[in-house]
Amino acid sequence: MRFIVHEQRYERQYGAGQFRYELDNRPTGAVESWRLTGAPDGHTVLRVDLDARRAPSGHSYLYHLVRDRNERPQRLAYRFWGGGLSIAGTLLFDVTSITGTRTVNGMVHEEDLDLAAGYRFWFPSATGLGLLLPPQRAADHHAATLNGAAGGADTLALQQVVVAVRAPAAEGTEVNVAGREITAVRAAIRWCGQERFVTTDRNGWPLQMDRPGYAVGQTLTARETQYIWY
């Protein structure tokens, strides 16, 4: 796993795992590794390496998210490589705003969003979608995310959206994750014509992400192959 900022000696390990990306149950070559740690002051650090260098896209994403003791985002650093682009960005979160910079092939872009208090945020990855879960109730939320349509100068640009998170009405079912039987539930997430289905454990941690219509008649799935909690 690659890092933007390596784990420090004072960080306590909470969990780690790795998703395997499949297209209609066939591995694409992309994997997403994650690690969750905690600091003595109650902050948590989520590190994610979405490595598709062996997949057709050849893209790489790194995320380093710091959250406070109430699980509100405080700072996000991110990196992207692929398709002739090299991107480095930083976001700072406040109660009703997000500010940051995004450097694309050496060109700096300032970013600033004013948002309603209580806004939600996630970044484009299976682990990132978990930041929206578990929902307190099925609702539409004012939210912010990064543009996940890679390819142009607006790749990973900060954008404001309305996201609909729909919790399942039924009780969870037992699923096998990395050789363990886990009680899981499934939620639907929709925004700007995009749709994802995320299967989580009872704590809202993602175990599987399904993206129907990724290609014509095909579903892209990110499946948890490691599931470690310390």
Q: How far is CA 88 from CA 36, 109, 139, 153, in A?
A: 21, 10, 33, 12
Of 178, 66, 62, 50, the C-alpha closest to 131 is: 66
> What pLDDT score does 134 carry?
79
> What pLDDT score does 217 carry?
83
CA atoms within 13 A on the CB side of 101: 5
pLDDT at 87 over 70: yes
C-beta atoms surrounding 158 within 10 Å: 21
**Residues β-bridged to residue 79:** 62, 88
> What pLDDT score does 168 carry?
67
Confidence of residue 113 (pLDDT cuts 50, 70, 90): very high
Whether residue 5 is contained in a domain is answered as no
> What pLDDT score does 136 carry?
63
Q: Dump pLDDT digits (tens) for 202-215.
A: 888 999 999 998 87
Q: Dump pLDDT digits (tens) for 6-62.
A: 999 999 999 999 999 999 999 999 999 999 999 999 999 999 999 999 999 999 999
Whether residue 185 is contained in a domain is answered as yes
pLDDT at 93 over 80: yes
> What pLDDT score does 179 carry?
87
DSSP letter for each residue of 157-171: -EEEEEEEEE--SSP
Whether residue 221 is contained in a domain is answered as yes
Q: Dump pLDDT digits (tens) for 193-202.
A: 999 999 999 8
pLDDT at 139 over 70: yes
Share of the chain above pLDDT 70, in %: 97
**0.85 exceeded by the pTM?**
yes
Whether residue 82 is contained in a domain is answered as yes
Q: Dump pLDDT digits (tens) for 165-183.
A: 987 656 677 888 988 899 9
Q: Determine the length of the chain.
A: 230
Residue-averaged pLDDT of the chain? 94
Phi/psi at 122 (nearest 5 deg)?
A: -150, 160
Q: Which domain does 72 fall in, by range? A: 12-229
Of 31, 35, 43, 41, the C-alpha closest to 7 is: 35
Q: Structural domain tally of the chain? A: 1
Whether residue 99 is contained in a domain is answered as yes
Confidence of residue 140 (pLDDT cuts 50, 70, 90): confident
